Chains A and B, each alone.
Chain A
Amino acid sequence: MGADIVTVSTDTQFTHLAWQRSEKELANVKYSMGADPTGTVSRMFGVYNEENGLDLRGTFLIGPDGKLMGMEMNFYNLGRNIDELMRKFKANIYMMKKGGNEVCPSKWKDEGDKTLVNPGAKMVGKVHEALQGS
């Protein structure tokens, strides 16, 4: 899909290596594991917790032009839903392909699902009709 996943924590690359090799759940990992022991990158994205030196559960989607296209942040006690991450990611790729005059509503899941084309003055108060395709 033309994307690279990079996981980031404030651990070093050496710890990443040791963790990936010892934890069987990570045996088939394909993504890069980024090391940010100084917290520089984590601070830039606003996920660094100065009190304990640990990152919050933040996910960021960066487009091929370097623009920030999506972000989600959860506190420590809530895991992320990978389906929702993939939905947002697919939607962003789809919209970029369509050149900017189509938008994906909340229920959009995959190509072929209903989108809103050329949202503008004519659609104000008529989103229901637009979603019904009338």
Chain B
Amino acid sequence: MAETMTAGLRLGQRVPDFELITYEPTKGDFGKFSLKDQIANKRWTILFFYPADFTFV
């Protein structure tokens, strides 16, 4: 998957399903994000990429 999709996504396009392991500060525990779950729960998602922890964001 990664090799074929380095060019990024287009606006209006359906985003292919993906998952991320997360840290959940409100729970103090690890969790999982899944786009499929967001769609099932009719939730909007704001994805906020940044270079690295321990730097200014």
Q: Which residues of A contact B (CB under 8 A)?
A: 1-11, 13-20, 23, 26, 29-36, 38-48, 54-71, 76, 79-80, 85, 89, 92-93
Interface residues of B in 1-35 (CB under 8 A from A): 1-2, 5-18, 20-26, 30-31, 33, 35
| 22 A-B residue pairings within 8 Å (CB atoms) | A1-B44, A2-B42, A6-B46, A6-B47, A7-B50, A9-B49, A29-B26, A34-B22, A39-B2, A44-B8, A44-B18, A46-B9, A47-B49, A54-B52, A57-B49, A58-B49, A61-B44, A61-B47, A62-B44, A66-B35, A67-B14, A79-B56
Min distance, Cβ A83 to any Cβ of chain B, angstroms: 14
Contact of A6 among B6, B30, B33, B56 (CB under 8 A): B33
A1 to B46, CA, bound (A): 12
Q: How large is the interface on B (under 10, 10 to 19, 20 to 34, 35 or more residues)?
A: 35 or more
A71 to B45, CA, bound (A): 12
- Given the contacts A2-B42, A29-B25, A71-B11, A59 and B53 also touching, CB distance less than 8 Å: no
A65 to B52, CA, bound (A): 30
A31 to B47, CA, bound (A): 10
Min distance, Cβ B25 to any Cβ of chain A, angstroms: 4
Residues of B within 8 A of A93 (CB): 44
